[in-house]
Structure 1
C-alpha cells in the first residue's frame, strides 16, 4: 500500500513506526486501518500517549495516513472512524502534516468550514523544485553561489576527495548506523536529538533495512578510502529528502555540505524526481539552494466536540 501512496517511503514505513514504539516505553501502538472488500485500503499509524492519540516520534518530518493515491473514500472513512466518540480517547493530534497530505485532504472534505480551528502552522520546509538537468537548476542560483560551489568541487578534486552514493549491494547495511552516528555526533555532539541512547537505538533498528530497500539513500565524502562526511536522504514518493548528516572536524576544509547536497540533487535529477527536499527548519544554508518552500502544521481535535 505504501508503494502506491504519496507518503514518504521511510517516515511512513512499518520499520519506522515499529522502531519508534520499541524505543519509547511511554506509548502504546494504536493503529487504525480501513479495508475494502477484505483488502487493506488505509492505515493511520498512531500511538496512545496518555490521553492523546498521535503520531509516534520526533524524528519524522512528514506524517500521514497511508492510502493509495487519491483514494479519498478510504481517507475520509478512516478519519471519520478516528474522530468517532467511540474511539476511546479524548484528543487526536495529527502533527507534521503537509498541506497536500492525505490527513489534510480528508479533513478538508469532512470539515471544510471548521478546518481553521483545529489546524495550526508548525514550520517551513524549503525544497528544490527540480528541472530537467543540474545545469538548468544551477542557472537559477546566484553567481556568487555558483562560483563558491565550483571552487569547492575543484578543491576537492585536486586533493582526490570525492562523493559517492553508498550502494547496499557493496556497503554492508549493518555498518551504516555506526558510521552515521560517529560522524553526526562528531559534528553536533550533545546539540542533537540523536545524542540520547533511545534515539541511537532507533537509528540502529531502522537504518539497515531502509538502506537495503533504498528507502534511505546515503551519500558519503571520501578522503581516499575513508568516509569523512555523510548525508542521509529519505525517499519520498517523488523526492529525496535530506534528513541528517555529519562530518569530521578535519573535513570542514572540503565544504562537505556543498559537495554532499550537490551530489544528492544530481542523483534526484538522475532518478527523474520532482524535488530535493530540505525538510524542517529555516537554516540559512537552505535558502541558498532552495527555490520553493512548503508549510507543515498539525490538526488537533477534541473527540466528540
Structure 2
C-alpha cells in the first residue's frame, strides 16, 4: 500500500463514508452526515489533514485528523466524548495490511510530525487486533482500554429475548415493567421527529435529558445543543434517527426519552433521559425494554448500548465489548 497525507477537503467526508460502508462493521460515527455535524461544531477552525492508503491506484483506507496542541497531536475526527465508535475507514479484509503499512510509512517517511490518536476503537475490530499485535514489538504504539460498549444480539421474538436473560434479570425486568404500569398506567412508546416537529421533539428530549441527573445539565455546555440539532437533521434525512418517548396518559406527558440510531440493521442507543419525579416507576428502563421489543419486531440484528458500563445495560442482556485508545507515536 502507498500512503499520502493531504490537506483536508470537505469531499474527504464522502471518501471516508464510502470506505466505511465497505468496512467490516460500518459505524454511524464514520458517515459523512455525522462527521459534517461534528466538524461544524467542534473542529471547523482547526488544522486538519487526511491520510489515504492506495492500492493499485484505488483508495482502500482513510482517516481524517484534526490537530490539538499542548501537547501536539492529531486526533481522529469525532473526538472522545461524543463519538462512540471510531477507527480508520478500511475496506473489509485489508485491515491488517493497512495497519502494518501505516506504521511502516510513519516510521520511514516522517510525513506525520505528531502522534496520531484514535479514540474509541472497538477491541473486536480487525484493525485493533493488528495494532495490538504490532504493539507487542513496537513500544511507540500505545494502547489503553478506556471503556466498554455492551450490545445484545436479537432473536426473532421478544419472548426468546426474555428467555435469553438470566432468571434473575428476567424476573426483575418483568417486575419493573409491571411497576411502571402500576405507577404510570398504560404507557405508550411514541416516536418523535415526524410530521415536521423534529426541532420541538428534540427540545423535549433535551428537557428530559437535563432533568435525569444533575451532571447531565452540564452535558449541554458549549455547542453540543447545536451539534445534536445538526445531527438530528442529518440523520433524519437518511432515515437513521429514531427519537422515542415513553408517554403516560395518566401523567399527561412524556416520562422518558431515547435518541437512537437506526443504522446498518442495528439499533444504537446514543443517549437517553427521564423525569426523576417518576423514578420509582423505572421509566428509563421501561423505554429501553420496549424499544428492544420494537427492534425485534423490525427484525434488527442487534441492540447496541454503545459506550458506558451502566448496570442496566447488562441487566438487559448486554455483552461487553472493550473500547480502546490507540496512539501512534512517530
Q: 1:10 pairs with 21, 28, 53, which one?
A: 28
- Counterpart of 2:74 in structure 1 is 53
- Counterpart of 2:200 in structure 1 is 175
C-alpha deviations, 1:234-288, integer Å up to 9, x for none? Answer: 3454532212111223443542122211122223323433321222222222221
| Structure-2 change in CA distance of 1:108 and 1:248 (3 Å) | closer
2:308 alignment partner, SS class: coil
Q: 1:67 pairs with 69, 73, 90, which one?
A: 90
**How far did 1:117 drift?**
5.0
Matches within 5 A, 1:71-150: 71-72=94-95, 75-76=98-99, 79-80=102-103, 83=106, 85-101=109-125, 103-105=127-129, 107=131, 113-114=137-138, 118-150=142-174
Matches within 5 A, 1:146-225: 146-154=170-178, 159-166=185-192, 168-170=193-195, 172-191=197-216, 194-224=219-249
TM-score, normalising length from structure 1?
Answer: 0.83
TM-score, normalising length from structure 2?
Answer: 0.77
Distance 2:201 2:94 in 1: 36
| Structure-2 change in CA distance of 1:70 and 1:169 (3 Å) | farther
Distance 1:302 1:124 in 2: 25
8 Å Cα contact 1:64-1:102 kept in structure 2 = no
C-alpha deviations, 1:185-220, integer Å up to 9, x for none? Answer: 121244455220322221122122113323232221
Higher RCO (CA < 8 A, seq sep 6+): 1
8 Å Cα contact 2:150-2:305 kept in structure 1 = yes
Q: How many residues align?
A: 302
8 Å Cα contact 2:96-2:126 kept in structure 1 = no
**How far did 1:43 drift?**
2.8
Structure 1, gaps ≥5 residues long: none
8 Å Cα contact 1:152-1:255 kept in structure 2 = yes
C-alpha deviations, 1:92-142, integer Å up to 9, x for none? Answer: 111111123354255368667448952221122222232232211211224
**How far did 1:52 drift?**
0.4
Structure 2, gaps ≥5 residues long: 1-17
